[in-house]
Every structure is written in C-alpha cells, then in structure tokens.
Structure 1
Amino acid sequence: MISSKLFSSFFQSQTSGGIVLIFCTIFSLILANSPIAQSYDAIWLTDMFGHSFAHWINDGLMAIFFFLIGLELKREIFVGELSSAKKAILPVFAALGGMAVPALIFFLTNKGTDTISGFGIPMATDIAFAVAIITMLGKRVPMSLKVFLTALAVIDDLGAIIVIAIFYPNPELPFDFTQFGTSIAILAGLFVLNKLKVKSMILYIVGGIAVWWFMLHSGIHATIAGVLVAFAIPFDKIDAKSMSAKMEHALHLPVAFVILPLFALANTAITIEGGGLAHFSIPLASGIFLGLVLGKPIGITLFTFIAVKLGLCDLPTAVNFKRVFGVGILGGIGFTMSIFVSMLAFSDQSYINEAKLMILVASVTAAIAGFIVLKILLTTKQDYSD
C-alpha cells in the first residue's frame, strides 16, 4: 500500500537523519567553544543578498522543511494514522497533552517574568531525534509503537506550526495586510489549480515560492507558507506517483541530510559558560527543562489515559500505558522545533542562548532516559491489559 511504503521511507530517513543531527550538533558545539569560535560564527553571519547565511537557512531552507511536514500531514490525513476519526483520536489526544502540560509548566515557572513569551518552546517534539532513538532499540520495538510515536510527533509539529502562526509573527516586520493578502490570493490560486486537476509541477513550485515571498514580507513567519502550500499540492491516495508523493519522496533526503544539518550547525553554535546547576534557578531554563523532561511524558500519558478510559479509542496492539510513558519521555526531545520557536520568542540574544542551551540539555536527558526506560519495558514481559 502507498501509506506503508511512504511510512517506511519516512521512518528510515528520519532515523539516519536524526543520527546526522546528533553529530552536527556535537561538531557545532565543539567549534563554538574552540579557539576558532569567532571564525565559525562569522560563517553564519556572512552577508548574502542583504541577509546573513543563517537568516536564509532559518527563513528560507526551513520553509522547505515545513513544506515536507505539510506533505506528511496531508498523507497521514488521507491514508495514514489520521485518515479516520478512530485512528486519529489517540495520537491527537496524546499530542494535545504533550503540548498543554509542558506549556503550563513553563507558564507557572515564568509567570510575571519577561520570558513568559517562550511558553511555546517546550511544546515541540523533534521527529528525527525521537525516531532515531527508538530505532536504536532494534527489532524489539513493535511497529505499532513506532507508528504511535510518529503520528504523535507529526501532530505535535502541526500544533507547533499553529502556535508559531498565532503567537510568533516575524519579529523584524510589522504586519502588512497587502503582502499577506497577496500571499493568500496566490495560495487560493494553487488550490484552484488542484481542483481543476492541473498537474504541472512547475506551476506549483513557482506559485509556492511566490506564496513564501509575500508571506516573508507580511510579518507572518514565512515558514508557515511551506505548510499551507503543501496542502495545495495534488494528492492521490491510490496513485503512489501522485505529485504530492513524488515531492515527499524527493525531499526526504535533502531535508534530512542538508537542510536540518545546516539548521543544527547554524543554531547550536552556543558558547557554554560556567554556572552548572545554577542555570536551573533561572525561570527560563527551568521552565524549558521541566516542560520537556517531565511535562511531555506526563501530558502524553495522562491525555492518552483519559481518551482510552472515556472509551474514545483503544490502545494499539503491543502498546500499554507504560510504553506510552516511555514514548512520552522521547517526546521531550524538542531540539529543531524548540530551537526554532526560541528564536521567534525572544529578541534578546542572551535569552535565546540560554534557551538553546537548556533545550540541548533537556533533549539529551529525554533521549537517554527514554532509551533506558523503553529498553527495560521492551525486555520485560508485558501485560497489555494495564
């Protein structure tokens, strides 16, 4: 089936891509704290057509990443884990819990401070990292658990996109209704082309770039255009060679091995200074750490439990609440999306650096803890009635 083939391809690319991200992050941190730190930073500050290299990565290449997320969401809605209400309820509830509880924890720890705007940071889950970690557990991981994690992370990304669109406009530009209206008009045109069954890929590519360009100058963050354009691309749930499927397949490798690694290199060049445990006394840092490491597994497990006990859905085969909790811990690997949100949430570079550092600490903690917990659970005889 088209859905199983696309999922297999998606899962494999996310696995290897996550491993590449880990190495890029370590490499970037080493260089940022080495004698050549200034030269390394200068690479990302290099001017390119009026903007820095890092700016083009974050506002340009990341739009392609969000476009791929949009294609994946569309596929899941038509033929995947979100293709029916019964299938979608469990991961939707889990994702809602995984966003609400971390945001609440951050709000409570940062209430009354000027860092309260960072509430969206611990709401995100990094699919690539989370999938890479669960894959390291090998064949002992049931496919149903992998699918649950992937669907949960995809919905989580959708939630993060909505949060970005509503709460984090482009900090460099005031809202421009004319530019925004032009972007939406072009987007509407793409949907009309889809409705008329126009199959010219070049028209959608040119139109998509135009939507991104006008969105970029409207004050709404341009990466949102990537998701919106994805839903205008023709999709056929029967034809594995539909335009949407072709684009998704074509983008997996460049996103996993070029775009996300560049994002990691450009945005994890953090100078690690002393302070140690003192960082946890800072509301911003403690809110992020507690939100990701504790809020994620608690929220995911709690909302999953509520959905099942209300009779809205059933746990998949070979999945119980203990394993849901283990997956929830992996949900605390925020990384890409969390770092992205942190750069939108603050204009003060010191806040951004503190947020990035704690995102890394929390993500590593969640990755190690999730791996250990799931390894123990997956090597123990399970009672799936619990």
Structure 2
Amino acid sequence: MAVRAATFRSVLAVGEFRAIWLAELLSQAGDQLARVALSVLVYQRTNSAALTGLTFALTYLPTMLGGLLLSGLGDRFPRRTVLVVSDLVRAVLVAAMAIPGVPLWLLCVLLTVVVMANGPFKAAQLALLPDVLDEQRYVVGLAVRNVTVQSSQVAGFAGGGLLVSLLNPHVALALDAATFVLSALIIRLGVRWRAAAMSGKEPVRLTAFGLVWRDPRLRLIALVSWLSLFYIAPESLAAPYAAELGLGALAVGLIMASHPVGSIVGAYVYTRYVSESNRLRSLGLMGIAAGIPLVFCAFRPALATSMILFGLTGAFSTAYTLQCAATATRLLPDSGRAQGIGLLATAALTAQGIGALLAGVLADLSGASLAVAISGAMGVAAAIPLTAAWARHVHTAGPLT
C-alpha cells in the first residue's frame, strides 16, 4: 500500500522534479523538430537519401561517445551546473546550425558536438533525480520521464513535419535552440544548487567500467539492459515488415509508434500497480516477457495484431529498463553515480544500434517477419540465464542499499 501512494501526481508535486521534467519536455520537443528540419534541409541541399540518413544517424550515435567520455562531469562538478552548461552549449551550437548557408560538413560537425553534449546532460540528470525524489517516488519519477520521452516520439515526427512544412527549416532549428535556452533557465531557477558529489581534488579511483564491474548485480543489470539488442528489431525493420504485409508508409509509422505507445502503458501500469519488492524480483522476468510476443511474428500476423505484439514488447522492455535504472542508482556510490549511469545508458544505446544492424542483415536472409521472430526468441534465450542469476543475487545479497 505504501508503494501505491507514489503516483504520477505525487511525483509532479515535487517542485524540483517538475522543473527537470518541464525542461526535458521542452528540449525533447525541440529535438524532434530539429531531426525533421535537418532531414528536410540536407535532402533539399543534396538530394541524397544516403546523406540524409547519415545526418539522421548523427542525431543519435554521438550520444554514445558523449556518454563514455563526458558522463563523469556529473560527478566532478555540481550536477545543476552540468545541466545548465550542457543546455547553453547546445543552444549556441544549434543556433549556429540555423544560420542559412552553413556548409554541410560544418553542419555535421556542429550536430555531432550537440548530440555528444546529451551524454553528460542525461547522466547528470539521472544522477540528480535521487537527490530530488525520495526512494518511494524515484521509480515513478523515472516512469514519468519515460512517458514524456515516448510521447514526444509518438507525436514529435508528425508535429515536426507539420511545423517544418509551415516554417523554414532554419526557423525550426532556431526554435530548437530557444528550447535549450528555456530548459537552462528553468533548471537554473527551479533546481536547488548542490555541491559536486566528488571533490575536485579527489583522485578517480575507479572508472565507469570499474564501478559496474566490481558489483555482480551491476554487471547483471548491464547485461539485462543489453537485451534491447534483440528487442529493437520491430522498429528497425518497420519498412520491410510493412512491405511484407503489402502495406505502405502509413503502416511503417504505425509499426514504429507501437513500441513507444506500449512503453507509455507499461511504465504507468508497472509503477502504479506493482510493488517495489515485486518490481525488484521481476526484473529478469520482464526481460523474458519482452521477447515472447515477437516470436509470434513468425506467423506473419496482420497489422493490428502485429502492433499489439510490438506494444507488449514495448511495455515489458520498459518495465525492466526502469527497474534497471532504479536499482543501479541505489548500488552506485554518489561520487560515481553519473559516471556509472552514463555508462549503462550508453551501453543500452550501443546495443540498440548493433541490434538494428544485425536485424537488417538477418532480414535480408530470412525476411522481416521471421527476423523479428528470431530476434525475440534469441532475446528470450539470453534472458533466461540472466533471470536465474538475478534471482540468486536478490535472495542472497541482501537489501539494495
């Protein structure tokens, strides 16, 4: 009963969290708008689908590098300062991208640095949340963030396309820069300053890899996070999957939206109706459950059924993702929290990139629907031993403090 008292409303009632949430909502909306604007801008200037695809990839891939190299800034410096500076840096760079006539090579360089800055921002933000929310509200706070991000993905591309069609792409990029300025202002005024978790004179005793590797539970959490390697298949194969069903672009969008819609529902149900102790015990089981719906794609179900299956995978994968983040936060020392969280988030993102590539190769050999089914089966096979290992640690290692 005590856990159920932590609701979305009670989390949003916390002023500092509300500021962090609103700032992220603004920057997410701006980012979605910028992705559409950049795709349109690059294609208008080059008429090249390959360069347009490369530009879109640059809106994601450098986050890995930023997460690995820069996430420790959230431990070395006050986390509010890292958030504000990251936002202002991105605002300046995106404003430069909005200038008409910027050479394409410079546009790509600026975009790479902008996306790299997302690494330390995300690490510092997630490391700050346990200071803002008590333990009971923390997982629910993560769910609120997840719902916000997934909702922006569902609506962002369509809304971004409409805005870019009404506005010049350069104006859309300028609006993105403005969202970063507003985000920095909201965080600066709405979040209390806290000293850095690690003293500037304190030597770095452990790298992010060392922080994760020394604790077997953190190692397991990292491996469970890597299950996204298998479960990214429906999104990455949306176009060929729709083509196998004899459907067009609308079906591609619906397939891609199925996972985030399921994620929104899963985040709400998991945090609202599952107790903290059961969430902890079920971490591995959610990894198994996420793969099972994909196996049924071997029968090439109709679009509506496929969307339900993909939504279920989104719901279950979000459940274990939220619990992985919450548990890792408790296990990591405060002085290395941003660095450790940054590594885990980067690892999960890397897994998605690798998984998308492998799913494409597999689909060329077997067809999209069978590739999705095989990916789901492989995910289940990988999750079973991880679930058994996690169950042993939960029963033998004591409280996660």
Please tell me the TM-score bracket, short chain as reference: 0.3 to 0.5
Which structure exhibits the higher relative contact order, with contacts defined as CA atoms closer than 8 Å and separated by 6 or more residues? Answer: 1
Where is the helix percentage greater, Structure 1 or Structure 2? 2
When normalised by structure 1's length, the TM-score is 0.34
When normalised by structure 2's length, the TM-score is 0.33
